[in-house]
A and B are shown apart, each in its own frame.
Chain A
Amino acid sequence: MYHKTWSYRVFSVFNNIAMFIIAVTCVLPLVHVLAVSLSAKSAADANLVTFWPIEFTLESYKKTINNPLFLNSLGVSVLRTVAGTALTLLLAFLAAYPLSKENYVFRGRTIYAWIFVFTMIFNGGLVPFYMVVQTLGLIDSFWVLILPGAVNVWLTILLLNFFRGVPKELEEAALIDGAGHLRTLFVIYLPISLPAIATLAVFSMVFHWNSWFDGLLYIHSPKKYPLATYLQTVIVQRDLSSMSISPEELRLLSQKTVTSAQIFIGALPVLLVYPFLQKYFVKGLVLGSVKE
């Protein structure tokens, strides 16, 4: 009824337009970067480009691809994202199972749960953490990107909540048939929880792909930087002093079009992955944040 009234229709038209404008402002900055990266150097340097490339060229992408430091860091990032996500998911999967049990099944569950949760609310701070990493000899090693953050308590809790929703009968049947807990976990729980795990995988992948601070803090040779750290030092800090690069490369890096191309390539994997998993967000997040 209400949507037939004249005033509601007027509101609706304005609302649709306003929503469109808001949505567009969320992507326009990225469109601008893309346009700059595809424009000729002269037009970009003169600030003529807005949202459409001027004198379309792929020159900046060619230069980016030919930059060995960029390629190196791209490789580090890919490796880190794959290995880090796999490890995080495995650990979360293994830990979430016992934590999802009732107290009488898994004695001391509450204590373990608190050991996990406590790390979310209290930590020793940056300096002692740095010292531990240093003592372990992880400075300047690839593993520093993966190991310290391998346990993600937040993802473990999301998975734990998902496991709670799995019908108990399934598990009981498996146990009666003589399967151990480990087997139950992999044969019964793994197939059921694939959608949930896929969602967690995206969050974990995005996290690893975007992480830059650990690279900056613990890795000293630019050749071992992940992509996000590389972009951070070159584009945000504009600190080229720490890098051993030739004047030719320096000239190349400072170009606006090349910078934009690098930013865009850095954002690309995320742009490709997230739209496909949107439908899971609501389920996973609501589960984790607000419970009825």
Chain B
Amino acid sequence: MILPSLIFLIIFNYIPMGGIVMSFQDFKPWLGIRGSEWIGLENYRYLFDRRDSMQVIWNTLLIAGLKIIFNLLVPFTFAIFLNEIRNQLYKRFIQTMVYLPHFLSWVILGGILIDILSTDGGIVNRFLGLFGIGPIFFLGNGDWFRVTVVVTDVWKEFGFSTIVFLAALANINPTLYEAAEVDGASRFKQTIYITIPAMMPIAIVVGTLALGNILNAGFDQIFNLYNPLVYEKGDIIDTFVYRVGIINGEFGFGTAIGLFKSVISMILICLSYYIAYRWANYRIF
């Protein structure tokens, strides 16, 4: 029964892994893997010598790091406040609305964002104009681009990420709150001394697991939002691999960056899973 899946995995996951030998070659498609010249670690030396590839690695770390921090803090806080809503119907309504962006693709959202963030009559700049804030070139200025990428990613995902925290909140033993109330603790005090500590283990697990993704700054999002104006500050490893490896046809070099990313990611993921396993007894199955 496991065989069909296994065959697919071998063809589409394990055979490409063999392709990483290309990263040690001056790969020429017309010569193939057997015919291409071996150049050892030349591609990797090139990777660390090129100024733009170092910039790309830094961009990736910065953007992914900021996303990890805010994608943890915002849903955590939001879940606590959402939990204070007593009317269940209203709560469901809010939840339905905030889950929505998670299910839309970055193509759809990219199309929408390019329109509403434009300096030429986009609604966001029109709104800011009401407060006398001049038009901001969100997607054309490198620094603003980074801010925009982080903010829109948090906006897209915070609702859905809240689910895990809401489940944790539902598991808190209600007698703790009753005891605290008898002792005269206000709701604020209860939140500080009961709710937040109770949510910490899950926050740690979510945060630790997210660290494994520090080299994934979000290909879909960046690819659909960026343009040559912000390549310098907005380019990340994945978009760089696509542009250099596929579009420019530097196959060996593209594979080298890809492998560099995969190896570091794998180490980080294993490390983060191990920590999550030891600290919080987390297991995937």
**A binding-site residues for B, Cβ under 8 Å:** 1-3, 5, 7-8, 11-12, 15-16, 18-20, 22-27, 29-30, 32-33, 36, 46-47, 50, 91-92, 94-95, 97-99, 112-113, 115-117, 119, 121-132, 136, 147-151, 156-157, 160-161, 164, 181-182, 185, 206, 209-213, 217, 228, 231-232, 235-236, 256, 259-260, 263, 266-267, 270-271, 274-275, 278, 281-282, 285-286, 288-292
Contacts and interface: CB of A to CB of B under 8 A. Distances in A.
Given A29-B116, A128-B22, A275-B96, A1 B181 contact: yes
B30 interface: no
B100 A127 contact: no
A123 B112 contact: no
B13 A119 contact: yes
Contacts of B120: 47
B210 to A, nearest CB: 11
B16 to A, nearest CB: 4
Interface of chain B, main secondary structure: helix
Nearest to B92: A278
Given A47-B121, A161-B285, A290-B164, A23 B94 contact: yes
Interface string B103-145: 1110111111111100011110010000000000000000000
Contacts of A126: 238, 241-242, 245-246, 254, 258
A5 B220 CA distance: 48
Nearest to A18: B81
A147 B9 CA distance: 10
A149 to B, nearest CB: 8
B186 interface: yes
Contacts of B270: 121
Given A95-B2, A121-B270, A16 B246 contact: no
Interface stretch (B45-53, B54-62, B64-72, B83-91): B83-91
A267 B107 CA distance: 10
Given A97-B1, A125-B16, A115 B9 contact: yes
A135 B17 CA distance: 15
A12 B86 CA distance: 9
B285 A160 contact: yes
Contacts of B101: 26
A23 B107 contact: no
B42 to A, nearest CB: 16
Interface of chain A, main secondary structure: helix
B187 A94 contact: no
Contacts of B258: 124-128
Nearest to A267: B108
B190 interface: yes
18 contacts: A2-B186, A11-B84, A26-B101, A32-B116, A115-B9, A121-B265, A122-B17, A124-B255, A130-B246, A131-B251, A147-B8, A148-B12, A182-B1, A236-B110, A236-B111, A288-B284, A290-B206, A291-B282
Nearest to B82: A19
B202 interface: yes
B44 interface: no
Nearest to B268: A121
B266 interface: yes
Given A119-B13, A124-B262, A129-B16, A2 B187 contact: yes
A185 B2 CA distance: 13
Nearest to A100: B285
B174 interface: no
A182 B114 CA distance: 51
B159 to A, nearest CB: 6
B179 interface: no
Query: Which of A8, A91, A228 has its CB near the most chain B CB atoms (within 10 A)?
Result: A91
B231 interface: no
Given A127-B258, A128-B17, A286 B187 contact: no
A129 B19 contact: yes
Contacts of B205: 290
Contacts of B206: 289-290
Please list the 9 inter-chain residue pairs (A to B) with the smallest Cβ-Cβ separation, ordered nearest first: A128-B19, A125-B258, A47-B121, A210-B105, A124-B16, A23-B97, A95-B5, A235-B111, A119-B13
Query: Which of B5, B22, B171, B251 has its CB near the most chain A CB atoms (within 10 A)?
Result: B5
A16 B242 CA distance: 45
Contacts of A274: 99-100, 103
B31 interface: no
Contacts of B257: 125
A127 B245 contact: yes
A147 B12 contact: yes
A119 B8 CA distance: 11
A3 B9 contact: no
Interface in B178-194: 181, 186-187, 190
A212 B110 CA distance: 12
B82 to A, nearest CB: 6
